[in-house]
Structure 1
């Protein structure tokens, strides 16, 4: 027997129409290349979204066609999110920090029909133009006055494109399984792979990520999504915030500028923000150097890489800002776990610090397990380490246009490529990527724990740990360190820092000091490149015991 409920599809269109009707005065504030502080309401945003949808109809496009963006977080990109997906096409957000050959590959693999470009990226697209065989037209995200000179054929400004069109549009009724957005992995090995989201997954993810023990976004909040809109849909914030009627503040090209972020936070009353650790380090450094404060900011969400405890402690102890760790992947839309607010007084300082470094508990909708090399489930005891697998309604089932690319095993579980441990309370902690794991004498050592400990040293700017061949133990950890400017730090001082902080047998065998460390296009440490750079390294004689 089936239930007697209405079969109304869960679509991004429903989020937009709900917000326009229920939250028409909700604000969207943006920094753009042509306006240092653009401001309008949800009602105005979605009126322009309908004009954009009509403008898209002037091109020879079909349902399911991919429309690409190379853009920052701002109101025009926001309009594209809704106009493209709700018109039945696919909004393909491209990371402009990828290598040129990766962007070329991605555009052609996706067969993008239109390319919307921030003025900053016009020279990049001009250099690739002859290779982008599927692109029919180029639209620059600017008004006529700020339209750059360009060799792109027929390029038009965004405002000139939408201006002549009607602000009424009859949105099509879409099945909730209709493809809505496309994002490619950064491709650390081989070519990037496309993850194709649908309306249902996006709506469910927005619901789940809005729960109190996750982002907990409400109508009275002001949210600053610093995580790029080209990176996994800005962690779903442009959907969950609109669903709740939350004021949105977009930093545009200034997402890494501490002074601009502080000004936006204070002048717009931002109380929640989300971004990767490097962004928070930039803001923290600016606050420490300038003496400014961000008293309205209540909490920040950190993902994309492990957040050093020192950043969390400085934000809380100096500025009263709580830091939430979260974890997810492009293939997961992206949110998988969230570390909700902990009671510092009840836990005590040591336990409080220990738990904050975990990625948190799975949010509802994400099933999770760890398995051994034989794919046997391991206990959630906080001790066992294993390959982390997940499944759920917003997790990738296969990759776009890759034959036989099922992203799950026979039981429907997606292998994240991470090695993790899960404690009895469900708190998950990533210890390594499976390809980066250090196995010394048959036992695993967490490179992430060692890196987090190293960057806690006041003289360390950045640190990475890799496994290096050892004649006795097979592998031992090597610590690679970037010192802060002017810092005086010796190998002996660095290794002594680990005493009492990690197991004695985890302490790295040696330290190599470097001027900088390589990163991927998404800002993560590139262990592959670090290993290549140190391919000829071998432990000195005295460190081989």
Structure 2
């Protein structure tokens, strides 16, 4: 994350979530000033705090930054002190990275980790060779979750083929596994090892790794949508939905289908004052994906449900909307 004693960091992450991603400890080690947000995590409160305390680094999940962007645009603040924001917890939409870059002159760093990785697994810092790239080409690299720090290794395997090792070619998806000295080896009050037989921890994520070692999370294994024997990434569909200016937040889940097993549907929360039809949002996907990957329906909701750490509650949404296509008769 490139923190130093010159930084003022705002961790919009609760202490009960991997000890606020370890930031209170990292900051104390290097002399970084810390601004704790307290109970008010709405966009207006965060924007005021950033401006008042001249925060230059902010850390949180994408849903938090969506509310910050909306509040900043509404109030007219340019967040002049904010130079870097770190996004973790779930994939950051490309539209959000562009908004911070183009409208607020703020660099967005993608990171990935888990409580089991104590918590940092990877962070996205560009390599020297990327300095000559255009802004759009840099964005393509920024969309990945980055590379592991010293002391941590990651790999891709095919669990269906006895953990067969997969290539780091940026294209082949596999089960993401990690190992290192501060990676979990067992859970509290459990005598069983949490690791694979060869010492690697299976993260439950599906990912690719490119030739430079940059990790791209494609989805949680449990959130992948299996349609007609083919896998569809909910993360990719959510990113496209979020690129529509009328959409404030979007989740994609697999709904039951008698022929295809599952088909993707969008749970969308509109931005304040915006209107959008189901047909218009689905049309927004045309030309961006193969036709069989396009969502079959849209459900507009007042609020996408979130947990205490700001992550979308997909399990709850699956339970509520798993029969949506059948109930609407959209099963041709």
TM-score (norm 1): 0.57
Judge conservation of contact 2:13–2:309 (CA < 8 Å) in 1.
no
**In structure 2, which of residues 15, 19, 30 is the aligned counterpart of residue 233 of structure 1?**
19
- 1:490 aligns with 277
- 1:452 aligns with 239
Structure 2: 5+ residue runs without aligned partners? none
- The whole-number CA distance in structure 1 between the counterparts of 2:329 and 2:24 is 55
Shift of residue 385, structure 1, vs aligned partner: 1.2
SS at match of 1:495: helix
SS at match of 1:362: coil
Judge conservation of contact 2:175–2:207 (CA < 8 Å) in 1.
yes
- The whole-number CA distance in structure 1 between the counterparts of 2:24 and 2:197 is 34
- 1:324 aligns with 109
Cα 1:350–1:444 change in 2 (3 A) is farther
Shift of residue 344, structure 1, vs aligned partner: 8.2
- The whole-number CA distance in structure 2 between the counterparts of 1:347 and 1:444 is 32
- The whole-number CA distance in structure 1 between the counterparts of 2:139 and 2:31 is 34
**In structure 2, which of residues 20, 26, 34 is the aligned counterpart of residue 248 of structure 1?**
34
String of CA shifts for 1:170-204, please: whole Å, max 9, x gaps. xxxxxxxxxxxxxxxxxxxxxxxxxxxxxxxxxxx
- The whole-number CA distance in structure 1 between the counterparts of 2:260 and 2:113 is 33
Instruction: Please say if 1:308 is aligned against 2:93.
Output: yes
**In structure 1, which of residues 483, 499, 504 is the aligned counterpart of residue 286 of structure 2?**
499
Q: State the number of aligned residues.
A: 328
Structure 1: 5+ residue runs without aligned partners? 1-214
Which residues in structure 2 correspond to 1:184-203 (within 5 Å)? none
Shift of residue 486, structure 1, vs aligned partner: 3.7
Shift of residue 429, structure 1, vs aligned partner: 1.4
> What CA RMSD, in Å, does the superposition of the two structures yield over aligned residues?
2.2
Instruction: Please say if 1:396 is aligned against 2:181.
Output: no
Judge conservation of contact 2:247–2:268 (CA < 8 Å) in 1.
yes
- 1:100 aligns with none
Shift of residue 246, structure 1, vs aligned partner: 1.8
- 1:224 aligns with 10
Instruction: Please say if 1:264 is aligned against 2:24.
Output: no
Which residues in structure 2 correspond to 1:52-451 (within 5 Å)? 215-254=1-40, 256-341=41-126, 346-372=132-158, 373-374=160-161, 375-404=163-192, 406-451=193-238
Shift of residue 416, structure 1, vs aligned partner: 0.8
- The whole-number CA distance in structure 1 between the counterparts of 2:42 and 2:265 is 33
String of CA shifts for 1:139-163, please: whole Å, max 9, x gaps. xxxxxxxxxxxxxxxxxxxxxxxxx
Q: Larger Rg: 1 or 2?
A: 1
Cα 1:483–1:284 change in 2 (3 A) is closer
SS at match of 1:361: coil
Cα 1:486–1:376 change in 2 (3 A) is same
Judge conservation of contact 2:4–2:31 (CA < 8 Å) in 1.
yes
Shift of residue 288, structure 1, vs aligned partner: 0.6
TM-score (norm 2): 0.91
Judge conservation of contact 1:509–1:543 (CA < 8 Å) in 2.
no
